[in-house]
Amino acid sequence: MEGAGRLGEGDADSEYFFQTATFKQHGLPYLQYEAESWLTDEDGTRLRPLSVETGFWALDRKLNDADVGPGLIPAEIVPALKSADEVEDLRNESGGFDITATIVHPGGIAELYYGQIKGPQIQLATDMVMRGSQSKEYNAATRIFGLVQGDLFWRWDVASSKGEELKAHASAILKKTS
């Protein structure tokens, strides 16, 4: 997927960016996520790299012997979820599925999100933000994703310091590329 977005509130003073994002499935019960972003001018010409992030998204469920890890400890050969019925059993009270996402950024920052996928919408909120000793201040975030006519709309709100309200950080619309 790729597309364009705006930093901050998306108003006249907000900077533009371009982003590519991929979700890959490797035969294990999670998706690998990668995104790269570049600062652009108003016409979309890339000016310089902005950031990268990578992580893993999965259904939030109790892990069992069919799940790999920790580290390189191999899993049992049987799949963790053997049928569509077993996946359906994970549906929550509101009709969606609880999910978790771990996203890592350069500069010593890792986010642990919990949330829900329900139909074409995903809502995530940080449970924890881990920062290295030299990292910039960063306390909490939410991310919202929605699939609209095949395009992925997303918004990311961030609170930099403790006690600060979440503020618009970035938003974009990504289109499928293949």
**Domains contained in the chain, CATH given:** 2-175 (2.40.128.20)
pTM assigned to the model: 0.93
* CA gap 98, 117 in Å, rounded: 7
Amino acid at 100: T
Q: What is the pLDDT of residues 48-91, one digit of tens each?
A: 999 999 999 999 999 989 898 999 999 887 888 889 999 999 99
C-alpha pair distances (Å), 58 with each of 14, 83, 102, 113, 116:
33, 16, 9, 11, 11
Residue 78: what pLDDT?
80
Q: What is the pLDDT of residues 25-37, one digit of tens each?
A: 988 889 999 999 9
Eight-state DSSP code of residue 65: T
